[in-house]
Chains A and B, each alone.
Chain A
Amino acid sequence: MKGVEILSRDGTARYGRFGVGEDTFIFPAAYQTTDLFPAISKRDLTNIPVLEDKEFVDRYLVRDGEEPVPLHIRADNEVPSGTTVITPNWHTLLTRPRDLCSFLDTLKSTIPPDTCWYLPGAALPENAAILVHAGFDLFDFIAVDLATAQGIFCLPDGRYPEKVMEEGLCSCNGCSSGNLLEHNRIALQQELAHISRRIRDGTFREYLDGRCRTKPEFVSIMRHLERSERMEQYTPVSRSGPFYATSGDSIHRVEVKRFADRLVDRYIPPVTDVAVLIPCSAKKPYSLSQSHRKFSQAIGRRAHELIMTSPLGLVPRDVELAYPAAAYDVPVTGYWDHEERYQITETLVRYFTRHPYRRVIAHLDGDARLIAQDAADKAGFELECTCQSERPTDHESLSALSQALSGERKIKSHLVRGMISFQFGYDLKAPNLEVKGSYPEQVVKRGRNLLFSTDPSHGLMRPTFDGWSLLETGYRVYIDDFVPQGDILAPGVMDADPVIRPGDEVLVIGDKAMTTGRAVMGADEMIRSSRGVAVRVRKVKKLEG
């Protein structure tokens, strides 16, 4: 095989393969790179430090026309798709997380995504996960072999003196034969295999959250990346697995921020001016839980149900299926820490400022009520409290809630308009829609026409062609004049709506055909790549003429 193909991605981490001559290799992985790329052994006297100035770089940067092509932050880096690139001496940036992340963002924005990134001399079992998360694919054994020469025993959780090898912390071939070099190499390879598996499972981010705790700079790198535009562009809009919010950093994940942003920027609430804040439930979607059945019964559709939760902040009932509202799990202690409180208060304030209500009832207990009160004070509205005890589900509280809503008018079902606005940023005002099925499996029809169906495992609405015809703009991918046979590949993509993220439902439009499907890549990647599946196709419709 020639070139580079990304087969799976989880955020900015990628799993794929690259070709050297006749052979194909997978990544992320560590190789004896001097064997793979003989050219790098001939690059004597070509050193250019990472932070060297432009004049020096212009004068002394040597490109021999061979792979891996050296990149420099202050050079012109024009590299075609399919190339393996090297970031020389970037191991020295590991102690400068801010520079590392900003340099990577800059280079990654100019170099096609379907390139293989080789970071030399850096990979250890302890840092492999954060390096893959940063966007590196290819590594070598230089750092682990150096550790061997220094008598250091490497494990994913850190480094130990050589003699610890005898204590049974690892039982690889190297350890059983007392060969430190072999152990250290195996430990790195094993960690990278582990990472590869997690990327393909779509659970790499949760894995990283645990792995990066062993050194402050790893957490720094993760936090810098979390705030970058690149991470927003490459983080999937949904995953099929659970979303574990198990650390203080979870609250800063792209998915959490995106959820709150969409509530304010996209979401259209139902027509009512009464809202009830209720606590979340462990069971997802919430409405299938015992407690929520009780709340809904007491409310009797006379108010907009808003679920208060960490780390998402606020989940309106009608978008409770949206990712990650139906997929997240958090450690529940009843204690809300200050970062959580601050973030949730902020989300509530933004929401209620954007969507004002005549009445807001807090059917909450404990800390949750304090947070709601705080948000109400900041946003400047009155909060009515109906929870009579520490148990919002007890009879007294529920009847107080029901009592408080007496006289309020019932609101109409809002699932379709709510979900569509949240997912597509589009205000769907189609009359005569019927929602059928047993929740959360729902189909939306008009007459006999199927328009949308829910995909509860991903928390998305799937439009049919008829559904798409109601969504006039957005989430379009444009292809040339061909009829797709199978999936849409990146080279066939002419243009794409920049809001598209991996996992999004999209409508593919060409001169000869239209297809519905789900984006595998985000817009940036499908536009700038020359290889790989861009859209997984569901249905193809040939166009007349």
Chain B
Amino acid sequence: MKPIKKPEDPLAIWNGQDRIADNILTSVTAIIRSGGCSWNRCKMCQYRHERFVGIETGELIRLMSAQLNKLEEEINKVKPQVIKLYTSGSFLDPAEVPSEIQDKVINLVKGKTLIVESRCDYINKDKLKMMVETLKEENDSADLFIAIGLETTSDIIREKCIDKGLLYSDFQKMTEVIHACGAKVKTYLLHKPPYLTESEAHSDMMKSIKEIIPISDLISMNPCTVQRNTHVESMWKQQAYRPPYLWSVASILAGSNAHVTCDPIGGGQTRGPHNCGRCDSVILDAIRDYNLSADRDLMQSVMEMDCSCKKEWEYIMSEEKSWTMPLTR
């Protein structure tokens, strides 16, 4: 493994705006390197490679604290209402993020809304209650969002296509626990994991969104991207995988009865969700606007657009089958 450059800096840090509960809030997002995801098996995930390997806990705490110092500087500079802290795994897994670091984060963002990600396995009531209490000490409108990668409500798809090691029923129970502790749920869905036709993937998202609306406070849909050193990448190289069409992404957003946010990473590129290359940027811009405006009419108007590739997409949606796919690159 290559030596890690600048281990004391976050992998990425930026500020922006986020729409939460119909309010547009300023946010700082940081991706910090951690001990790494303990599950480490999902077929599309590259983030699992971004970890410290073979270091003592003491050193891990030191390096993570150093990264948090950079986050603190950014918070002091931007004074955001929301902090999103991603560790490329589970924030609540003590093997990945030592408890000292977890506590340090809570104290750092006191009085602000915090979004962290975790697998269901590491969520426990006492810890959540303590975190919510600390956050709200000075400001009752500060919320704790636990973001969970449910990916789909279909256990069959999650098992075969992602290898997530999670059941929908476990997720459902966990949303009750989270809500009971006074925290909120952000759910990630994965649009078009491998082994699905364009239309199977589309139906999977429509159904999943519909099912989680009642139990999820925020929904974010990630169109699958071909990341390096993943199983999906090797499938893609063997022509066995094509990322979703942006038409599909737009159509899901336009057709869902909830505001689903979406950040199409690699949008418009062959490795990311893409159309023909001519209409991609218009649709990507519309999706970015929609993230903040929640204006469903905008997504609907995207679907009324025409492009020479739209017929191709319609054909793929109706004729691509599990035994003859993917039909396009």
Chain A interface residues toward B at CB < 8 A: 40-41, 43-52, 60, 70, 86, 88-89, 91-92, 95, 120-122, 142-143, 145-146, 149-151
Contact = CB atoms under 8 A, between A and B. Distances in A.
Contact of B239 (A46, A60, A92): A92
A43 B200 CA distance: 11
Interface string B317-329: 0010111111110
Contacts of A92: 238-240, 326
B135 interface: no
Nearest to B323: A88
Given A47-B196, A142-B327, A95 B312 contact: no
A47 B239 contact: no
Contacts of A146: 312, 315-316, 319, 327-328
B77 interface: no
A209 to B, nearest CB: 28
A46 B322 contact: yes
B275 interface: no
B312 A88 contact: no
A149 B314 contact: yes
B288 interface: no
A41 B323 CA distance: 10
Given A49-B194, A91-B324, A92-B240, 18 more contacts: A40-B323, A43-B323, A45-B160, A45-B196, A45-B200, A46-B323, A47-B196, A48-B195, A49-B235, A52-B240, A88-B324, A89-B323, A89-B325, A92-B238, A142-B327, A146-B312, A146-B319, A151-B311
Interface in B225-259: 235, 238-241
Contacts of A49: 194-195, 235, 238, 240-241
Contact of B322 (A43, A51, A52, A151): A43
A60 B328 CA distance: 24
B200 A145 contact: no
B157 interface: yes
Contacts of B76: none
B319 A43 contact: no
A140 to B, nearest CB: 8
**Chain A at the B interface: mostly helix, strand, loop or mixed?**
loop
A50 B235 CA distance: 10
Nearest to A151: B308
Contacts of B314: 149
Contact of A150 (B160, B200, B311): B311
Contact of A142 (B235, B319, B326): B319
Contacts of B196: 45, 47
Contacts of B311: 149-151
Contacts of A43: 321-323
Contacts of A95: 239
A145 B196 CA distance: 21
Contacts of B316: 146
Interface residues of B, number: 28
A45 B235 contact: no
22 contacts: A40-B323, A43-B322, A43-B323, A44-B322, A45-B196, A46-B322, A47-B323, A50-B238, A51-B238, A52-B240, A88-B322, A89-B240, A92-B238, A92-B240, A120-B323, A142-B327, A143-B327, A146-B312, A146-B327, A146-B328, A149-B311, A151-B311
B29 interface: no
B113 interface: no
B239 A149 contact: no
A143 B328 CA distance: 10
A46 B319 CA distance: 15
A120 B322 CA distance: 11
A52 B161 CA distance: 12
Contacts of B157: 45
Contacts of A60: 160
Contacts of A45: 156-157, 160, 195-196, 200, 322
Contacts of A44: 197, 200, 322
Interface in B191-245: 194-197, 200, 235, 238-241
Pairs A-B, 4 closest by C-beta atoms: A121-B324, A49-B240, A149-B315, A88-B323
Contacts of A151: 308, 311
A47 B319 contact: no
A46 B161 CA distance: 11
Contacts of A142: 319, 324, 327
Interface string B156-171: 1100100000000000
A89 B239 CA distance: 10
A86 B235 CA distance: 21
A33 to B, nearest CB: 10
A47 B197 contact: yes
Interface string B292-304: 0000000000000
A42 to B, nearest CB: 10
Contacts of A145: 315, 319
A121 B322 CA distance: 11
Nearest to B237: A51
B153 to A, nearest CB: 14
Contacts of B319: 142, 145-146
Contacts of B195: 45, 47-49
Contacts of A86: 323
A437 to B, nearest CB: 58
A52 B308 CA distance: 33
A50 B324 CA distance: 10
Contact of B312 (A52, A89, A149): A149
B88 to A, nearest CB: 25
Contacts of B235: 49
A39 to B, nearest CB: 11
